[in-house]
Structure 1
Amino acid sequence: MAYMHRSSLDSLPGYKQGRPAPVTPGLNPYKISSNENPYPPLESVRRAVADRALVHLNRYPDMRGTALVERLARLHQVEPENIQLGCGSTEVITQLVNLVAGEGDEVIYPWRSFEAYPIIVTGAGATCVPVPLNAEGRHDIDAMIAALTDRTRLVIVNNPNNPTGTSVSTDEALRLLEAVPEDVLVLFDEAYFQFNDDPDQAMGLQLRQEHPNAVVARTFSKAYGLAGLRIGYAVAPAEVVQGLGKVALPFGVSDVAQTAAMVSLDVTDQLQERVDGIVRERAKVVTALEGQGWRIPCSRANYVWLPLGQATDPAYEQFQAQGLSVRAFSGEGIRITIGEAEANDRVIRVCASLRDQGLAR
């Protein structure tokens, strides 16, 4: 049916969710396509959801998320007025783009990076300014600075970068912040920061102490294992948070999600053990792949990137055949989430086979 709509959206690809694990006879299937935590929420989190949240399903949640906002403010040593909740950090980013950018405005972001960026920016009616990564799969800070114009309304830093896993250093972030006008916001999208063991990593919360135009987006989906509950947050100037509230989805963050996030903040030691375990598994996978001859970016997240180029699609089929659902970007490469030990071992075996076929780059 023909209908009146914004033609600028016609060529925009929709967001593609990671596929479920394929069913392969004789093999346990593993979904390692969405950077999810392979472990379920801790028992204390599940119990709190059942005891304290499910009984209120007939009531609207606290739209401001007051208790969680105050808790996050104490954690990050800011005021509650500096915290904004959202349905995952993706919604917070959407709020921010909708707040600052519209027709004729530009949003700069690295590319390839989080595939929702062009969708969010185009959805706001603004112009995408994707800046290609460098040869190492890292942000090209000089090119991002060169892309600044008087129409720039937001600059996005994805740290670690999804899907390459590379980290942005403090010096790089400072160089960018010093080049961006003070009235233009710089978003540090830190969905995977808990896995970032780079001692030189840029930390948005520290940078905003001297650069008030820095905004930080974080999520409970990855390290905390709450992807199914959709909850994230931003740390930003109070004036920005006020604006975010105006474009936020009313009652978007459920009481269940708020409760789970609150309890998760009480068990950070146990969650850190899980993060440490994933980082160790990442090191095992990276060491094995490099030993096979793969040249891969240095990952500081819970995934690794195989730059396969035109070999991406046939390589993807071989992962599928082995019961592994990975995230393929046709013509570019494959992102593989660090999952259970058995899944990681199977990834190593598939990569060895691909290497024997001459596909390693």
Structure 2
Amino acid sequence: MKLQKLARPALLAIALAAGFGGAQAEDKVLNLYSARHYQTDEALYANFTKATGIRINRIDSDDAGVLTRLKNEGSASPADVVLLVDAARLVKAEQDGLFAPVKSQLLESRIPATLRGADSGKGSAWFGFSTRARVVVYNKLSVKKQDVDTYAELGEAKNKGRVCTRSGAHPYNLSLFGSMLERMGPEKTEAWLKGMVDNMARAPKGGDTDQIKAVASGECQVALTNSYYLARLMRSDKPEDRAVVEKVGVVFPDQQGEGTHVNVAGGAVAAHAKNRDAAVKFLEYLAGDEAQAYFANGNNEWPAVRSLKPGNPALEALGDFKQESVPIAAIGANQAKVQQMLDRVGYK
């Protein structure tokens, strides 16, 4: 059963009462709050129900909406499992006590330590199930690859008037900037952000796909994007999308240094889960081979289980790359400091 996204708290209360009230009285049910909105996830959930007999009730929102809902509901929340699509939000929810730690040998053996929450002794608060890289795209006619093959170069004078990005305060950028703060320290990171502001071809706006298209059109020459936005265009049958792909090159930054920044989509057991056993079983299911394929390919991401190959032609075309080793928890902890830097340098 899927409950539609609701914008207003009053409507939410009605939906919760109608959608989850009866479900809690049943033995085999899982109440899921999800920020994932990908068509292939429907098969993912259906296969879980078929394998376990556990029915899934789902409410969709974005990351911020899910977390606000959990906070407002408190201990009365019917949520059993939470799925989010950004590491910083996962870490913040962990810090806010919205998740319950899980001790699972299966999850710990399948999900790398760098892609899960810190182990409190009672287990990790969350687990990453797919990854995406924060890459650089550039106009192949006007930019040399070697001028944009590190994040730092986006703030250097040679790229003045070339750069475009979405809002600096968007979680995808905040996570990258939090990683750079961990790598470079506060002084160099703030100088880098100021350099990026000085290099903007236009004020930050739009989403990552808009940045790729702006590079292809010549509105700017270089931009940041999550890898799956480019992979979507690569797999598209639309002539206009194919034309965009032909005009842009892609770089996995810092391959000779600390590696490319990687973000995660992940899940957790809600702090007040009423169906904890089913919730843990669902997280373990997401770490399985079949679910990893659905979870990753539904949004053109890499599986968190590194021994698996996604069989995705766009990801295969992008090739292998060196990932950064900065812990996700450290990236999340840097968010407040990064936001202060953005305010000081005028990064909108």
TM-score (norm 1): 0.28
Higher helix share: 2
Q: Which of structures 1 and 2 has the larger relative contact order (alpha carbons within 8 angstroms, sep 6+)?
A: 2
